[in-house]
Chains A and B, each alone.
Chain A
């Protein structure tokens, strides 16, 4: 305990930390993960890439990309995916950070809250989609019954079929299921911030906002970046929940990239076009996540 305190106090001092030298040793640590990923992902990636430039006659060409980029439905789906991801990730962050701070603090029964706030995460996303669809069911849905019994609405709401309500219902369910991940990862991050820093800040007369701003946030920075990066990628790939809840409907209003790729591949048998769409999706994601990569590799 004392050892940590002393070291941690030193950490905030001006002395710049030494970095271990031998890169070869570093590569040894990294190797198992990298080799495994190369082994299992290079072949599928090349297959996809090749399919995406294979034309009906067997020649190679980029026509599928041309079709893709000129299809208004593709761009509509890109916009919808972006809206879905931005809304989900920001709500996850807001609720996750709030919940993590709250249960790490001095509230009563925080052990209980810690378990409660985790619960939605143990429900598989497909199952979460089905359960919410059941709650919002147009005939037997309990939420409408509750709202009507409480005289909050006088007509059942069309949660899953109203063109502007359906995307919101989807986000409602996705936030429910997804915020615990951010909470848990931030809660773990909070545990790693040395208690002394808070004590030192308090001694300096810092209020709770200042402590949050100058101790908590910087201490969480790396973990926060990781949580955001992973959550963003994860929400772009989100498939089961959307497929189970709305199947992309009404019409195509809740269609996202992952459900579109699935449809094109497994229902319309357009393997090449679906591959082109997947490659486009990867490129888009790559562009979005480059800043995250830079941030995570930044030196303090």
Chain B
């Protein structure tokens, strides 16, 4: 009895020692965070992010960041599978419409407690709108990253060559169509058109909604009725917008052939090689186009202008958010990294390197941002910008639209028929809710 009591005491002493020593041991240990981001595979963004990671690591010797590159298209599929197996990377970046889906699936940690610990004024540096958009059922589920409006990007030299005033971009859609016609030309005289007025990524890709929504909205149309229960794709405004977009390709022929196969990068390549004069883009456009073809002298030649207005002056907003895995083993370290990624200093770096506009007011007030000819327009247009619908069914609804757009452009169906079929399909999708 005494013996076992002694043994018990010994165990207790050892346990107490371990208990007190453990934090010390843990402090000496290096915490590893998995960080997944689609920008890691890009030329410009990839370099910038890796530099940021090095800065963070040098200031936080206890934390090591393991970058995991992923492609833009495959990220949702993988994070979802990883989340279901409780193996999601500790920190990931998503854009607004899949963010809502991940909140709903429980694949994002609640950041509210971390934010509260930072003090009452912590969130004051951000615009209200992105913060509100990333709040789900009263909890902040992601920290806002870049936040931009879609604008018209055009090539001033091609404008001049076509006899258009490079300082007077088109302001209405009628004007836009007229410009586009004059910018569609055979430049080398071989009888084949080799420069087009406008291009858009009309394949089924996640970048299409951002380029289509400004057009549809500015015609005064919308995909859904205000209560979100029915399709509004049969309204006269919507039909007018749809017909306008389709006929740019079929009647006016101001877009390059094969527009329904293009992804966003195809369009950027066309712009970089002077194949097209106008496109809809945002902050990221200039550095990527510049990297594709430095000889274009994009800084001088490209210009940004508000998207032409129709019945309304409106455009689409891009918003990304940083998510922490709900299953992370190191929430404190992950928060520290997210805080670093969204700090004024890092956001300023991201602007300098990638020209993406921050969702922080204090960054956008920097002279650096205010003086930049692209950023000026993008920040100014934010007041007219709306987000894509935050709806679980949105990807499917937009897919129905993209199907109709492709059918009408390629002549598989007359445009009225294609649009009607899409409308019926969307009604079916909404009826399921």
A–B in direct contact per CB < 8 Å: yes
What DSSP secondary structure best describes chain B's contact surface? Answer: helix
Q: Is the CB of A162 within 8 A of B410?
A: yes
Given contacts A161-B410, A247-B203, contact A252 B403 (CB under 8 A): yes
- In chain A, what residue has the closest Cβ to B205? A247
Which one of B80, B392, B407 lies within 8 Å of A250 (CB-CB)?
B407
Q: Which residues of A contact B410 (CB under 8 A)?
A: 158, 161-163, 250-251
Which stretch from B21-29, B157-165, B256-264 is at the chain A interface? B256-264
In Å, the complex CA distance between A158 and B406 comes to: 13
Given contacts A267-B395, A267-B399, A268-B399, contact A138 B258 (CB under 8 A): yes
- In chain B, what residue has the closest Cβ to A264? B396
Least Cβ distance of A5 to chain B in Å? 56
Q: Is the CB of A247 within 8 A of B204?
A: yes
Q: Is the CB of A133 within 8 A of B395?
A: no
- In chain B, what residue has the closest Cβ to A159? B258
Least Cβ distance of A142 to chain B in Å? 14
Interface centre among A158, A161, A251 (most CB of B within 10 A): A251
Q: Which residues of B contact A248 (CB under 8 A)?
A: 204
In Å, the complex CA distance between A198 and B101 comes to: 66
Q: Is the CB of B412 within 8 A of A133?
A: no
Q: Which residues of A contact B17 (CB under 8 A)?
A: none
Cβ contacts A243-254/B at 8 Å (1 or 0 each)? 000111111110
Q: Is A120 interfacial (CB-CB < 8 Å)? A: no
Q: Which residues of A contact B260 (CB under 8 A)?
A: 161, 249-250
In Å, the complex CA distance between A253 and B260 comes to: 13
In Å, the complex CA distance between A267 and B397 comes to: 11
Cβ contacts B259-273/A at 8 Å (1 or 0 each)? 011000000001000
In Å, the complex CA distance between A137 and B259 comes to: 11
Q: Which residues of B contact A253 (CB under 8 A)?
A: 412
Least Cβ distance of A249 to chain B in Å? 5
Given contacts A250-B407, A250-B409, A251-B406, contact A160 B399 (CB under 8 A): no
In Å, the complex CA distance between A252 and B396 comes to: 13
Given contacts A139-B275, A267-B395, A269-B392, contact A250 B257 (CB under 8 A): no
Q: Is the CB of B399 within 8 A of A263?
A: yes
Which one of A137, A163, A266 lies within 8 Å of B258 (CB-CB)?
A137
Which one of B257, B270, B392, B395 lies within 8 Å of A158 (CB-CB)?
B257
Q: Is A189 interfacial (CB-CB < 8 Å)? A: no
Q: Is B76 interfacial (CB-CB < 8 Å)? A: yes
Q: Is A156 interfacial (CB-CB < 8 Å)? A: yes
CB proximity to B under 8 Å, residues A74-123: none
Given contacts A139-B256, A250-B410, A263-B399, contact A161 B392 (CB under 8 A): no
CB proximity to B under 8 Å, residues A232-277: 246-253, 263, 266-270
Q: Is the CB of B261 within 8 A of A133?
A: yes
Given contacts A251-B407, A251-B412, A263-B399, contact A161 B101 (CB under 8 A): no
Q: Is B85 interfacial (CB-CB < 8 Å)? A: no
Least Cβ distance of B280 to chain A in Å? 19
Q: Which residues of A contact B258 (CB under 8 A)?
A: 137-139, 158, 160-161
Given contacts A160-B258, A160-B261, contact A250 B406 (CB under 8 A): yes
Least Cβ distance of A222 to chain B in Å? 39
Least Cβ distance of B223 to chain A in Å? 16
Least Cβ distance of B108 to chain A in Å? 15
Least Cβ distance of B117 to chain A in Å? 33
In Å, the complex CA distance between A160 and B270 comes to: 18
Q: Is B1 interfacial (CB-CB < 8 Å)? A: no
- In chain B, what residue has the closest Cβ to A247? B204
Q: Is the CB of A249 within 8 A of B411?
A: no
Which one of A139, A246, A270 lies within 8 Å of B257 (CB-CB)?
A139
- In chain A, what residue has the closest Cβ to B78? A266
Least Cβ distance of B243 to chain A in Å? 17
In Å, the complex CA distance between A163 and B393 comes to: 27
Cβ contacts B401-428/A at 8 Å (1 or 0 each)? 0011011011111000010000000000
- In chain A, what residue has the closest Cβ to B84? A271
Least Cβ distance of A202 to chain B in Å? 55
- In chain A, what residue has the closest Cβ to B203? A247
Q: Which residues of B contact A249 (CB under 8 A)?
A: 203-204, 260-261, 403, 406
Least Cβ distance of B183 to chain A in Å? 16
CB proximity to A under 8 Å, residues B230-276: 256-258, 260-261, 270, 275
CB proximity to B under 8 Å, residues A115-148: 133, 137-139
CB proximity to A under 8 Å, residues B201-243: 203-205
Q: Is the CB of B403 within 8 A of A251?
A: yes
Q: Is the CB of B275 within 8 A of A250?
A: no
Q: Which residues of A contact B204 (CB under 8 A)?
A: 247-249
Q: List 12 A-B contacts (CB under 8 A).
A: A137-B258, A139-B256, A139-B270, A139-B275, A161-B257, A161-B258, A162-B411, A246-B261, A249-B261, A249-B406, A251-B406, A251-B407
Identify the A interface with B (CB < 8 A). Answer: 133, 137-139, 156, 158, 160-163, 246-253, 263, 266-270
